[in-house]
Amino acid sequence: MSERPFMQLYVSDFVGDTLQLSTEQIGAYMLLLMAMWNAGGSLPEDDARLARVARLPLKRWRAISAELLAFFEREGDEIGHKRLTKELCKARLKCEARAAAGARGGAATALKTKARVQANADVLTRHSPESRNQMEKASAFSAREGRERPGISIGGREAASGSQGQGRLKKPPGWTRPKTHGDAANAIIEEIRGYDHGRTAAGNEGAGGNVLLLPAIRPD
């Protein structure tokens, strides 16, 4: 099939140029023009081939060909047609312009399609069962890790790392509460009281007042 599916025909010009031709010659002329259009603008100047294109016996072709070949131009061993060559060039330019525009449009459509497919793939990946399971596992692991994380000791008491609703954390085996400043003060007071009891038992009238000399130290 020809890359040029139609041939421009200027009817008024054609009729005016072929007034002297017979019906048989006009038919042969049209067949030659159409074959030349499909062939790219030229045909071999060979009577046998031209007769087959015109669908005439060789003898009949030779009888009517003189008037027909006057419409064509000879170039070497081929014949061409000036008006047909001009229209053929115009058709080629239009075809190339349409092809270039189609290529640009196709490239833009391909980019849009690729972007849309990628976006859909991302959405499907985020909402696929496997992705949801992975996110749920990660969330459960984070929550369990927060519950199992040891508490932070603040002022001798255990501070929960999670929310207040999670309750106190279990103390690990062998855990002992760290000593505080209050523990040290109580130990000093008890030591002074023991010393005062000893002085009281020995009849010392000033015994029992040593604790009062330490106003900054109070038991918890």
The dihedral region occupied by 7, where left means phi > 0, alpha psi between -120 and 50, and beta the remainder, is beta
Higher pLDDT residue, 3 or 75? 75
Lowest mean pLDDT of 12-16, 85-89, 138-142, name the range. 138-142
pTM exceeds 0.75, yes or no: no
Distance CA 33, CA 71 (A): 10
Q: Which residues pair with 111 in a beta bridge?
A: none
